[in-house]
Amino acid sequence: MNPRTPGTDAREPAFRLMTVCTGNICRSPMAEVVLRDRLEKAGLGDVVEVTSTGISDEEHGNPIDHRAQEVLREHGYPVPRRGARQVAPTDLTANHLVLAMTSVHARALRRLAKTPDVAERVVMYRTFDPAAPELGPGVAEHVLDIADPWYGGIEDFEVCLEQVEAAADAVVDHVRAAVRERGRAEA
């Protein structure tokens, strides 16, 4: 990914978003696939770039977990050939929105950010799920965690996909508004 500030080159996408989990083989690539599909269907595929990374390098180069691939395919999503990679500080500055799968991921990403404005780009993925608990006094960020399906069976990957899909339309709405706003600001 290009480490420049997003949207500074006319050939670059108008908006970049990245999903982040632990090893970049289950949750974040599932979210990447779903969001890419939804953004394409919303007519935003040519102006929005979606990527995913992990906070760890333990799975570096590995493909999407075979169970995640199976669940995605069963639900009609195309599964790209890709290798897992670890997030870098430049990824945070190169993306307008960074969607963390858990509160642990969000904290790690905010620590990795070099400035407060970059840290503010990090948002819990499930904050976009209208049925998810709302954060507030006495409600910790971890209530929005998407559980790691790696340790379970195929049913855990189904639950993960359900959680990802539940928030996807609101992510698309947020991105659509952000792209529109950026367009007005540049006009």
Residue of 21, 38, 65, 145 marked catalytic: 21
pLDDT at 140: 82
Res. 62: pLDDT tops 80: yes
49 pLDDT more than 90:
yes
Q: Which residue ranges form the domains of the chain, and what is each CATH number? A: 15-186 (3.40.50.2300)
Which of 39-53, 91-105, 137-151 comes out lowest in average pLDDT? 137-151
| Cα separations in angstroms, 48 against 36, 89, 104 | 8, 20, 26
26-46 pLDDT, tens per residue? 999 999 999 999 999 999 999
| Banded model confidence at residue 108, pLDDT cuts 50, 70, 90 | very high
What's the pTM?
A: 0.91
Is 148 an active-site residue? Answer: yes
Q: What is the 3-state secondary structure (H, E, C) of 89-110?
A: HHHHHHCCEEEECCHHHHHHHH
How far is Cα 137 from Cα 121, in angstroms, rounded to an integer? 22
Q: How far apart are CA 100 and CA 10, in angstroms?
A: 28
Tokens for 109? Answer: 């990403």
**Could you give the CA distance from residue 81 to residue 64 in angstroms, rounded to a whole number?**
8
Confidence at residue 11, expressed as pLDDT on a 0 to 100 scale: 55
Q: Is the pLDDT of residue 76 over 90?
A: yes
3-class DSSP state for residue 99?
Answer: strand
Please tell me the distance from the alpha carbon of residue 34 to that of residue 72, in angstroms, as a whole number.
8
Choosing from 16, 27, 38, 126, the catalytic residue is 27
CA distance 52 to 20: 6
Q: Is the pLDDT confidence value at 146 over 60?
A: yes
Tell the residue number behind the tokens 């307008």, with chain if given.
96
Q: Tell me if residue 21 is catalytic.
A: yes
Of the two residues 32 and 135, the one the predictor is more confident about is 32
Q: Which of 107, 110, 148, 182 is catalytic?
A: 148
